[in-house]
Structure 1
Amino acid sequence: MEALLSQFSFLSSQALQDKNFDPTKIDDLMKFFELEAYNSWAAMETDLKKDVDEAEYTMKEAEDHLESVMDSAMDEFRRFEEELDRTLKDELDGLEQVANNAKKMGSSMENAATIATKKYMEAALVSATTTMKSAWKGLNFNSKKIHPS
């Protein structure tokens, strides 16, 4: 491009100094400018396409990496969730077993209390019956004794 500018400068000076200067020389030089501009544009477009391709490749790599990381995170979350479910199930089973044992113990205590209550009532009834029998024996209706007053 610098050579073309130099040539343009030279031809411009020549055109100012020489009245027989052929203007087609400048037209020919302008065609070289156009060709150089087109070549520069094509090179820039090629470089840009290369940059776009590299950016797309880098983006694809980043997407693949992100997808891999997300898959790993989801797998880890699923394993955590399964472990948590197992732990919670074990804990629930343990609590159910404790509840069932407490229910059985409560039933046993209820049965023991019922039996103890029945025994107590029977003992109270026997005691009352014995007391009444004793009291009846102590009263003698056939007695002719008179108590001194």
Structure 2
Amino acid sequence: MDALLEQLSAVADTAVDGRGFDPAQFAGVLALFEGHAHAWWAAAEAEHEAVARDTEAAVVTAEGHLKGVMDAAVGRYRGSSGQADALSAATAAMETAFKATSGTHR
């Protein structure tokens, strides 16, 4: 990208210095910028899609874990502390999965 900025600066300098402005050269530099922008956009989109897939997989895993914990908790005596511990563990597992996947979106 720095090289493209230098090329654009050189084209601008020729126009400012009165050495002649070459519209074709300017169009060429802009086309290179456009190519880089498209490549950057495609890479960003691919990264976003990968993170979204990973996040969805983590959510499915956390939901499965939560369902298992909830099923086990329902089978226990309602007043037992084990039910609260299981629900707490399931909540912690979901939070961990969310933090693990949301940290990659920067």
Report the TM-score when normalising by structure 2.
Answer: 0.66
In the other structure, the counterpart of 1:44 is 44
- Please give the alpha-carbon distance, in whole angstroms, between the structure 2 residues aligned to 1:46 and 1:75: 44
Task: Count how many residue pairs are aligned between Structure 1 and Structure 2.
Answer: 79
State the SS of the aligned residue for 1:24: helix
- Please give the alpha-carbon distance, in whole angstroms, between the structure 2 residues aligned to 1:71 and 1:77: 12
Q: How does 1:28-107 map to 2 (within 5 A)?
A: 28-77=28-77
Identify unmatched segments of 5+ residues in structure 1.
81-149
User: Structure 1 residue 18: deviation in Å?
Assistant: 4.2
Identify unmatched segments of 5+ residues in structure 2.
81-106
User: Structure 1 residue 14: deviation in Å?
Assistant: 1.7
Distance change in 2, residues 1:6/1:19 (3 Å) = closer
List per-residue Cα deviations over 1:66-99 (Å, max 9, x = no partner).
0110111122249x9xxxxxxxxxxxxxxxxxxx
- Please give the alpha-carbon distance, in whole angstroms, between the structure 2 residues aligned to 1:34 and 1:69: 52
- Please give the alpha-carbon distance, in whole angstroms, between the structure 1 residues aligned to 2:60 and 2:18: 62
State the SS of the aligned residue for 1:31: helix
In the other structure, the counterpart of 1:7 is 7
- Where relative contact order (Cα < 8 A, 6+ residues apart) is larger, the structure is 2
Q: How does 1:104-143 map to 2 (within 5 A)?
A: none
Radius of gyration: which is bigger? 1
